[in-house]
Amino acid sequence: MLKTERMTRVLVMGTMDAIRETVDYLYGTQSFHVVDFKRDEVHDIGTPLAEANEASAKLLKMMSVSSSLDVEEPSTPQKVPVDKIRRELDAALTHMELEISAEMHARKGIEDLLSQKKAMLASISPFCELDFRLDLLTHLTSVAVLSGRLRGNPEGDLKAITDAYGMFNSQDITVVLIGKEHAEPAMKALSARGFAEVKIPQLDEVPADAMGRLNREITELEAKLAEVEGRLGKLKTANSQFITAALENLTIEANKAEAPLRFGTARFTFLIDAWVPTRQMETLRKGLAGIRSGAVDMVPIAAEEGEDSPPILMDNPKAARPMQMLLEMFSLPSYNEIDPALFMFVTFPLFYGLMLGDIGYGVVILILVLSGGLTKLMNRLGMSGGAPGLNKILLYCSISSIIFGFLFDEIFGFEILGHYFSFTLFDIHFPVHRGETEMVAPMLILCVWIGIGHLMLGYIAGFRNVWVQHGLKHAILEKGGWCLILVGLTLFAFSAMPRLISGEGIQFNDPQAIAGIALLGTGVAMAFAVEGINTLLELPGLSGNLLSYTRIYAIGLSSIGIALAFNENLAMPAIESGGFGIIIGVAVLIGGHALNLALGIIGPLIQTLRLHYVEFFTKFYKGGGIKFNPLRYVRKHTKEV
C-alpha cells in the first residue's frame, strides 16, 4: 500500500544436476525476476537444457501445421491435460503432417490445373463466335491474319486498300484476312482505330466446342478442390483444440528449456541473479533447499551502486488495483516513490462523479459495464487489452455518478427527484441544482478548494519522496516551501478575489492578505534555496493548476447544457404537439442522450485523467520504474494434473 513491493536481490546457486528442478521451481513460484547473467571469470552464459532442441523442433512443426490449417484459438478454451499432450503429441504430429502434406499437394495440383484451364478459357473466349478451327488461321502463307480489338468498323478503310480481303467483326474481336502485300497499309488503317493485337490461341477445335469442354473440366476440378478443402476443414475442426493446446505446452516447454541462457554456469554449478519480493524470501529459500536435499541455495546480495533499480510490483488492496492500469499507462512508479494508486482510487471516481453527476447516465454506464456490453464495444474497436481495467474503473465511476446524480437531482438532465426528496447538510440545501445561475460561484469555488486539497496531497506525497531520496532538509525546503506557497496563495486569493470582482480593489491591509503574502514569500524563499529560479518560473503555473480544477464544473455544465437542449428545446415541444410528434420526440431523446452519454463517458474520463497526470503527478511523481516480470507461464488451453 502506497509503497511498491519491497524487493531483494538474490543469487540462486546449485549443482548442475539440479538445474532442471530449479527451473521448474522458479516457474512454479512466479516470484523470480531474473536478471540476465553477465559473463565473469568463472561463469559462462548457460546453455539450453537437453530437451530444448526437441521442443523447439516440435514447436516449429506444430506451428507449420497450425498455419497450414489456419487454426484459430477456440473462444471457449477447454483445458487439455498435459500428460495427454505428451503421450499423443508425436503420433498426432506425424499423422497430421502426413495428411496435411498429401492434401496440400493435391490442392496445389488442382489449383495449378484450374488456373491453366481458366487462362486458356480466357484466351479463347474473344473468338467464341468463329465457327471453324482456329489453327486454320495460323498456318497461312500468302495471307496475313490481323486479329485484335479496335473502335468501330474498319470496312471502309480496308476497301480503300483492296477488295480482296475477308473480315470477321464482333463486339470483342476483329479478325482481318488480307494478302501479305497489303498487310502494311491495312495495319496502318487499323492502328488509326486504336488497334490492339490479340493473339490467336493454338487450338485444333472450334472455339465454342473448346469452351464447352473447358467449362466442364473447370467445374469438375472445382468440385475436387471443394472435396480437398472439406477434408482439410474436417482435419481442422477435429484437431484445432489439440493443436492450440499442444502449441501452448510446447511454447512453455521450449521457454523453460531455454531459461538457462539467462543463467551463469561453470562446469558443475549454476548461478542465477534475480530479484524476489522480500517478504517471500524465507519461503522461497526453504523451497529451493528442498530440491535434491540441499543441492540448491539462495543468498541475498547487496545491490551494487549504479546497477539497475529493483523491478516494480505494485502492492495495493484488491479494490484499488484497477487504478494501477492508469499508472502503467503513464509510467510505473520508481522504487523509492509513493505508489499513488490508492489516492486515485478515491479521487478518480470522485472527480468523475462530480463531472458527470447524473443518475440516468450513471445507471446506463453501470449496465454497460455489468452486462459486458462495454467489453464487446472495446473488442470491436480493437482495444480489447484495456477492457478489463477500464470496466472496473468505470464501475466505480458510475456508482459515484449515481450518488452525485442524487445530490445534483439529475436524471438524463431532468430535475425530477427534487420534488420528492431533499435534506439540509452543513447549511447547504440538497439537492443542489448546479445548472442554476446562483450556483455558478459556489460551484467554481468548490472546484478550486478541491484543487487546493488535491495539490496539497500531492505536495505531501512529494515531501515524503524527496525525504527518502534527498534527505529531510531538502524535503522541508522544497516541498515544505511549496506547501507554504499554496497556503499563502489561497489566503491571499480568497481575500483579494471578491474585492477585485466587486470593483473595490485589492486591500493590502487586510490581515488575511498580509498573512497570505507573508507565507507566500517565505515559501518562495525556501523553495528558491534548493530549486533556484525554477521556483519563480513555476509560480504562475500553480495558480493555473488551481484554476484548472474548475474544469470539473465546466464539464458538468456542458453535459447539462446538451441534455437540456435535447430535452426542453427539441424533444418536449415535439412530444407536446402529439401524434407523430411523439415518435420524433422519443427518437430525438434516445439519439440525443446516446450522444451525450458517449461524450459523458469519454470527456470526464480524459479530464479526470488529466487532472491526475498533469496537475497532481507533477507535484511528486517521476515514474520510470521497470515492471516486475518473473519467470512464469499462463496455461489457458492446458492443465497440469
Partner 1 sequence: MVLLEGAGAVAMAAAAVIGLAALATAWAEKEIGSAAVGAMAENDKIFGKALILMVIPETIIIFGFLIALLIVGKV
Binding footprint of partner 1 on the chain (CB under 8 A): 329-331, 437, 440-441, 444, 501, 544, 547-548, 550-551, 554, 606-607, 609-610, 613-614
Which residue's CB is nearer to partner 1, number 57 or number 441? 441
Q: How far is the CB of 593 from partner 1 (least distance, A)?
A: 24
CA dist., res. 21 & res. 12, Å (int): 13
Contact present, 329 and 605 (Cβ < 8 Å): no
Q: How far, in Å, are 114, 126, 218, 219 from residue 121 at the CA level?
A: 10, 9, 10, 13
Q: How far is the CB of 496 from partner 1 (least distance, A)?
A: 14
Q: How far is the CB of 330 from partner 1 (least distance, A)?
A: 4
Q: How far is the CB of 543 from partner 1 (least distance, A)?
A: 11
Q: How far is the CB of 385 from partner 1 (least distance, A)?
A: 11
CA angle 526, 531, 537 (to 5 degrees): 100
Q: What is the DSSP letter of 318?
A: G
Q: How far is the CB of 625 from partner 1 (least distance, A)?
A: 13
Residues with Cβ < 8 Å from 116, sequence gap 6 or more? none
Which residue's CB is nearer to partner 1, number 285 or number 434? 434
Task: Kindly state the helix (H) or strand (E) to which residue 166 belongs, with its residue range.
Answer: strand 165-169
Q: How far is the CB of 8 from partner 1 (least distance, A)?
A: 28
CA dist., res. 401 & res. 416, Å (int): 16
Q: How far is the CB of 327 from partner 1 (least distance, A)?
A: 9
Which residue's CB is nearer to partner 1, number 291 or number 546? 546
- Give the closest residue to 239 by CA, choosing from 407, 391, 96, 386: 96
Q: What is the DSSP letter of 414?
A: B
Long-range contacts of 444-447 (CB under 8 A, 24+ apart): 444/550, 444/553, 446/553, 447/549, 447/550, 447/551, 447/552, 447/553
Contact present, 9 and 300 (Cβ < 8 Å): yes
Which residue's CB is nearer to partner 1, number 194 or number 624? 624
Residues with Cβ < 8 Å from 79, sequence gap 6 or more? 245, 635, 637, 638, 639
Which residue's CB is nearer to partner 1, number 102 or number 329? 329
Which residue's CB is nearer to partner 1, number 554 or number 584? 554
Which residue's CB is nearer to partner 1, number 382 or number 578? 382
Q: How many helices (H) and strands (E) does the chain have?
A: 21, 14
Which residue's CB is nearer to partner 1, number 598 or number 606? 606
Contact present, 545 and 455 (Cβ < 8 Å): yes
Which residue's CB is nearer to partner 1, number 74 or number 544? 544
CA dist., res. 621 & res. 631, Å (int): 29
Which residue's CB is nearer to partner 1, number 211 or number 557? 557
CA dihedral defined by 229, 232, 237, 240, rounded to 10 degrees? Answer: -130
Contact present, 634 and 476 (Cβ < 8 Å): no
CA dist., res. 169 & res. 148, Å (int): 10
Contact present, 641 and 84 (Cβ < 8 Å): no
Q: Which residue has cell 477456440? A: 74
Which residue's CB is nearer to partner 1, number 208 or number 439? 439
CA dihedral defined by 430, 436, 439, 444, rounded to 10 degrees? Answer: 120
Q: What is the CA radius of gyration of the chain?
A: 40
Q: How far is the CB of 606 from partner 1 (least distance, A)?
A: 7
Which residue's CB is nearer to partner 1, number 49 or number 432? 432
